[in-house]
Structure formats: structure tokens, C-alpha cells
Structure 1
Amino acid sequence: MSTVAMITARGLFGRRRALMLLPLPVLLIGLAAICRAYDLEPNRWGAAVIVGLGCAVLLPVIALIVGTGVLGSEVDDGTLVHILTKPLARRDIILAKYAVAVAATAVTTAIPLFVAGLLADSAGFGGALALAAVVGSFAYTALFLLLSLVTRRPVLLGLVYILIWEGLLGRWVSGTRVLSIEQYVITIADKLQPTAILDARVGITTAAVMSLLFVVGCTVFAINRLGSFSLAGETS
């Protein structure tokens, strides 16, 4: 399992894909720093920068890049077959790749969100955002890892979920928020450190339970899906 994790990390950070993880965190911190430098009231820019860019773009997009990257490329180029010939349980393969994806996403998103929260309010607010980002990293990467196994266009479907389901429907249709990871992240951060910057639209119980369901459900489904792959690289 550790070998699979090391190979996954090397493949993830040794490609151009890793460079795609840098612009959004730099942009988030840069915008927050500029607003703070000009002494703008946090209520004037906090929601747009922290929620609009950090929670709605930075976190899900990086999770999409990483979550689909740790396994999707191996499905596309056929190298998944070589992994499946090894004496490894399908569960161990998925869990190793999932662990790498979560760690990469959490580090890349929690740190810039902490800095943005610190600049907007306090270390407590930054810590709440960072912890919520970690929870979101678990949920998002589980979903996007699963998509890389069930479709040949995981990035496209992931963008549909981020832009249409969360970005459009999640803001205007209240019923869709129950299945919005972005809303879970906002609610958890707001519960840990209440602030006018965040506008929680689901309950904390819903956020906690649904986050867990995303993590467990998508991971179990991914394990079962990988188990259906034959050595010819096709599903049975």
C-alpha cells in the first residue's frame, strides 16, 4: 500500500499537473493581502474572496485536478492493468491513492484559506477555514476519484458538478444544497468561527453527516468499481 502511495505521489507531483495547483492559492492569498493592505473592511471583500474564490473555486478545482489525476491517467493510458496484476487488494490501491489525493488537496487548499482568513479576521477564523477545507478535501476527492473510474470524462463531469450543481443550482435552488460539498465547508467553518463573512445555508448536522456519506459512499463505490476491472482494462 505504501509503495502504491509513493508511486502515486511521484506521478502526481512529477507532471505538469502539479504546476496547475499553484496559481489559485497564490491568487487567493494575493487578493486577500491587497485588500488588507488597502485597509478595506473585511465585510466588503471577505465573501467574494474567501467564499467566492476560496470555497467555490480553489477547493473544488484543486480537488478535481488531484482526485481525477491520481487514477484517471492510469485508466486512460492502460497502466492500470499493470497495477491490477500485482498481489494487492483493490481496497489497498484505492485507499493509497485516495490518501495521497486528500493530503495533496488539503495542504494546497487549507494553507491559503488559513492565510486569507487570518488577513480577513483572525487566526481563529483562518483555522476554522483550514479545518473545513480538510473536511471538504476528503469529500471532494472521494467524489472525483470515483468519477475517474466510472466515466472517461471525469473532469467534464466534475466541472458540471462544481459550476452547475454547486455554482448555479446550489445558490438559487435550496433543495440542491443538501448535496453541495461547498455548502458543507461553509457551514463547518461558520459553526467553528461564526462570522458575517460566511452565509451557512445548511445545518451543521446535515453538513457533517453528508460529508461522511460522500467520503464513505464514494470510496466504497470506487473500491467495488475497481474490482470490476478485468486484466484487459475493461469492466465486467
Structure 2
Amino acid sequence: MSTVSWITARGLFGRRRFLLLFPLPILLVGLAVLARSAGVDPGEWGPPVVQGLGLAVLLPVTALIVGTGVLGSEIDDGTLLHILTKPLPRWQIVLPKLVVATVVTALTAAIPLYVAGVLVDSVRFGLGLAAASAVGALAYSAFFLALSLVTRRPVLLGLVYVLIWEGLLNNIVSGTRVLSVQHYVVTLADRIAPTALLDGSVSLPVAIVMSALFTVGFTLLAIRRLRSFSVAGETS
């Protein structure tokens, strides 16, 4: 499993795609520092920066880039075929890749969110955002990793989920929020560090249970789909 993790990390950090992870964290921290330095009321800039940019854009987009990359890129360049020829149970391939995707996503999102949280409110709020974003990173990563095995266009479908489902429908049809990782993260952060800056629209039990279901369900789906790969690199 350590070998698979190393191959995954090396492939991820060695691609230009990894450079796409930097602009959003820099933008988030930059806006927070600028607003704090200008003396703007945190109630005015906090929600759009922390929730609107950090939790609604930075976290899912980072997870999408990384989650679809840890397997998708190996499918494209044929590296996955070499791994599949090894006598490894498929879960020993999927789980290390999920761990790498989760760790990279969590660090990329949690650190700038922590900084923004401290600037807008307090250290506790920053820690709440970091902890909740780590949970979201795991759920998002499992989802996007599975997408990379289910479809040939995982990035496109991932953007549809992030932009249309979470970004548009959640604001129109409240019932869709029960299937929104973003809302689980907001609720968890709000419960860890209660503040008027966040509006958790699902209950804590729903956030916990659905985060677990997303993670376990899509991880099992990824394992099952990987088992269907032939040596020719095509799914059945």
C-alpha cells in the first residue's frame, strides 16, 4: 500500500495539474488579510469569503482536481495497467489513493480556511473550519475518485455537481441539501465553533451520517469498478 501511495503522490505532484491548487488558497487568504487590514466589519466579508469562496469553491474544486487526478491520470497514461497486473486486492489500490487525495485536499483547503477563520473571528473558528473541511475533503475525495472510474468525463460531471447541484439547486430547492457535502461541512463547522457567520441548513446527525455514507458508499463503488477493469484498461 505504501508503494501505491508513493506512486500516487509522485504522479500527482509531478503534473502541471498540481499548480492549479495554488490560486484559490492564495486568493482566499489575500482577501481575508485585505478585508481585515481595511477594518471592514467581519459580518460583511466573513460569509462571502469563508463560506462563499472557501467552503463552496476552494474545498470542492480542490477535491475535484485531486480526486479525479489520483486515478484518472493513471488511466489516461496507462500507469494503472501496470498496477493492476500486480497481485493486489483492489481495495489496496483504492484506499491509498483515497488517503493521498484526502490529505492533499485537506491541507490545501484547511490551512487557508484556518487563517481566514482566525482573521474573521477567532482561533476556535479557524480550527472548526479546518476540522470540518478535513471531513469534507474525505467525502468529496471518495466521490470524485469514484467518478473517475465510473465515467470518462469525471471533471465535467464533478463540476456539474459542484456548480449546479450544490451551487444552484441547493439555493432553490431546500430538499437537495441533504445530498450536499458543502452543507455537511458548514453544519459541522458551525457546531464546532458556533457563529453567526455560518448558516448550517442540515442537522448535525444528517451531516455526520451522510458524510459517512458518501465516504463509504463511493469508496466501495470505486473498489467495485476497479475490479471490472480489464488488462486492456477498459471497464465492462
Match of 1:60 in 2: 60
Q: Report Cα offsets for 1:76-129 as digits up to 9, x if no partner.
A: 223221110012111000001111000100000000000000000000000000
Superposed, which structure 2 residues align to 1:174-193 within 5 Å? 174-193=174-193
- CA–CA separation in structure 1 for the residues paired with 2:235 and 2:145: 17
**In the alignment, residue 230 of structure 1 is paired with which amino acid?**
S
**In the alignment, residue 160 of structure 1 is paired with which amino acid?**
V
- State yes or no: 1:154 paired with 2:159: no
- CA–CA separation in structure 2 for the residues paired with 1:235 and 1:61: 26
| Alignment: residue pair count | 236
Secondary structure at 2:87's aligned position in 1?
coil
**In the alignment, residue 163 of structure 1 is paired with which amino acid?**
L
Match of 1:7 in 2: 7
Match of 1:19 in 2: 19
- CA–CA separation in structure 2 for the residues paired with 1:133 and 1:16: 24
- State yes or no: 1:207 paired with 2:222: no
Secondary structure at 1:39's aligned position in 2?
coil
Match of 1:85 in 2: 85
Superposed, which structure 2 residues align to 1:43-58 within 5 Å? 43-58=43-58
Identity %: 66
- CA–CA separation in structure 2 for the residues paired with 1:152 and 1:165: 20
Give the root-mean-square deviation of aligned CA atoms: 0.7
- TM-score, normalising length: structure 1: 0.99
Q: CA deviation at 1:161?
A: 0.1
Match of 1:70 in 2: 70
Match of 1:140 in 2: 140
Match of 2:219 in 1: 219
Match of 1:130 in 2: 130
Secondary structure at 2:39's aligned position in 1?
coil
- CA–CA separation in structure 2 for the residues paired with 1:202 and 1:121: 23
Q: Report Cα offsets for 1:161-220 as digits up to 9, x if no partner.
A: 000000000112111000000000000000111111101100010000000000000001
Match of 2:234 in 1: 234
- CA–CA separation in structure 1 for the residues paired with 2:51 and 2:8: 31
- CA–CA separation in structure 1 for the residues paired with 2:71 and 2:31: 33
- CA–CA separation in structure 2 for the residues paired with 1:231 and 1:3: 20
- CA–CA separation in structure 2 for the residues paired with 1:229 and 1:156: 22
Structure 1 gaps of 5+ residues are none
- TM-score, normalising length: structure 2: 0.99
Q: CA deviation at 1:234?
A: 1.6
Match of 1:94 in 2: 94
Secondary structure at 1:178's aligned position in 2?
helix
Q: CA deviation at 1:15?
A: 1.1
Secondary structure at 1:144's aligned position in 2?
helix
- CA–CA separation in structure 1 for the residues paired with 2:210 and 2:171: 18
- CA–CA separation in structure 1 for the residues paired with 2:206 and 2:41: 31
